[in-house]
Every structure is written in C-alpha cells, then in structure tokens.
Amino acid sequence: MGDMEEIIEHKVEDQTCSIENYEARCWGCGLQLVLPYFAPVFKCGWCGAITVHRLQSSRRCFNYGVLRDRFLVVIVFAVILLFIGGGVWAIFPITFPGLSFSFFIHSFIAAILSFNTLINYCLAVLIPAGHPPHIAWGRVDLVGKGSLDGHRYCDFCKSPKPPQAHHCRTCSACVVDMDHHCPFIGNRVGASNRQHFILFLFFTVLSTLYILLMSIYTGCIIWPHLLEIRHEQSYSAFIRLQTSSSFVSTLIKLFMSGHIFLSARAHTLAYLIVASLSVGIGVGLLLYQQLLSIYSGQTYLDSLQISHGIIQDLTVTGGWDNFRKVFGNSHFIFWMLPKPIRWHDAFGRKYHFK
C-alpha cells in the first residue's frame, strides 16, 4: 500500500511539472528554452539576451512630432540670428561709433560667441545621437556565449538594443546613452551629440549674458539723450492726451506719430534686455541639470525610471571622469573649442562606436 502511494505521488509530481513547464524561444540565439513557468521577462542562459513579452502593439503610425521638431528648429535658428543681428545693429553704432580698440575687441568677442553658438547648434541638430553598433544575433552559431548579455529586442527597430540604449519613438531609432529627445534641436541627445548640445547651452548662456550687459550699457547712453530731445514734444502731446475727450483715439495718434515712444534702437535694446534675461535663465537651468546628470553618471531617462521605480538605482560612480567620457580626455579648456568631425556623419549616416 505504501509503494502504491509513492507511485501515485510521483505521477502527480510529473503531471505538475509538465503543466508548469513553459517552452519559449530566445530571440538572441534562437535556442528553445524550457522555463518552470510562464515568465513575461526572462534571460537566456547562453547568450544573455533578455526577452520581454509585450502586450502593446508595435504598429507604426505617422509621427507629427517630426513636423513639430522641424518647425521649432527653424524658429530657434531664426531667433539666434535675430539676437546676433539685432545686437550688432542696436549696440555697436551707439557704443562704438569709431574704429577704436574697443570696437575690435568686442567685435572679436561677438564673433566668437556667435560662431560657437551657431556651429554647436547645427552639430547638435545634424549629428545622429548614437546608433547602437551592429551585432550578430538570431542563430546560435553566430552568437557567442554571453555576447548579448543584457540586450533586449527592440520591437520598433527589429534589432538588438544594448542595456544602455533607449528607443526614441519620435525619431523611430534606438540611441546609445540617450538623455532625452529635445524638440528644439529636432534630435535626440545621446552619446554622439551630447557634447555639442552642452556646448550650445553653454555658449547660449554666455551670449545672452554678454548681450544683456551690453544692452544695459548702451541703453544708459541712448535713453537719456532721447528723453531730452523728445521732452518738449512729449509734454505738449501728453497735455492734449489728458484734455482729450477721446482717450483711445488720441493714444493711437501719439503712437503713430512717435511722440511717446523712443526710437527703433531703443525698442530693440529693451527687447534684447528682456529676451536675453529670460532666455539666459531658462537655458542656464537646463545647462545646470545637464551638468549635474553628467556628473552623477546618469541620463535624464535613467533618473525618471529610478524615480518611478522602473529600474533600481544604478551603481554608477559620479565624478570628473564622467565629464571626460562626454568631452574627451583632453584638458577642459579645449572642450569648448570646435572639434573636427566627419561631415558625412552629420548628414544622416549612422554613427558607429568602436
């Protein structure tokens, strides 16, 4: 009787194991895996690839974000040109009326700031953020042991995705060390163009600070002089305005005649002061956030996933070496200089890493 009970127990255990066993195929090496139970996420013991069973569809549709990004890139480029042209037109004829030593010094400073701002913005827009390197996958004879360790399969790109890569749905591409998608550059910020993005923010802050100081200095020169010239005309105009029965119509006439408003250069200076102050503060905060994330060794997407509990806290050592990974091993003074690039990489070709 005891032997019969043992036989029955073994049969029940065998049936239980056969029910719980779950067969799945690894996308990385193609091996047939037998799991103890159904797992939505599992890792292959041979190649190390991670398989994730997704419920959502990977169907592609027309992305309106591309049109939005291109429109914003044109707007930002036009604003940069307006800052440069408006600043030169409004400041230099008043502050430097002759070809003095100060004129050449400030012309050199303005040229350096304008060139570095424009070139780094163009490079951040044009250079791909960093496509993952090509790696063999799909067959066990092509994949070595552990060669796909931590890789996931991208349902959109139909290719392996390294552990440090993310897929940008706006650009429909996987990016190595992706920080975020910036609509103002119409591109992802990743391993290949993050240096140019940081330099663009840095020179934008310097340029807006320079424009702010020079606009205030020029305004102190031009505004008292204009107020003295228009004092008599404005006084009589305001008297008519106070005694007029039609306040709105008189105000419109004064606006059209220019009695209560300063010259075009004075208007431009006022605009430059307000715009440079607001843009400098906004871009400065973004620059601070970027520098802080580089120092900590985490991207913006990593910090979001950690805060939402999607991934555990990354064991990354923060420090100066993280800046060298982005800007290179040269002296930090040379980080701000324009770097030689392969121009064919800046026009849509894939950027591979060694």
Active-site residue set: 182
* Cβ atoms of residues 290 and 177 within 8 Å: no
* Cβ atoms of residues 344 and 126 within 8 Å: no
Task: Give the other-Cβ count within 10 Å of 51's Cβ.
Answer: 18
Torsion on CA atoms 342, 182, 274, 118, rounded to nearest 10: 10
In sequence order, the β-bridge partners of residue 173 are 168
Tokens of 171: 């650009």
Residue type, 241: L
3-state secondary structure of 159: strand
Q: Which residues are within 8 A (CB) of 165 and not within 5 positions of it... i.e. 6 or more apart? A: 132, 174, 175, 176, 177, 178
Tokens of 13: 């255990």
How far apart are the C-alpha atoms of 100 and 104, rounded to whole Å? 7
Q: Which residues are within 8 A (CB) of 279 and not within 5 positions of it... i.e. 6 or more apart? A: 204, 208
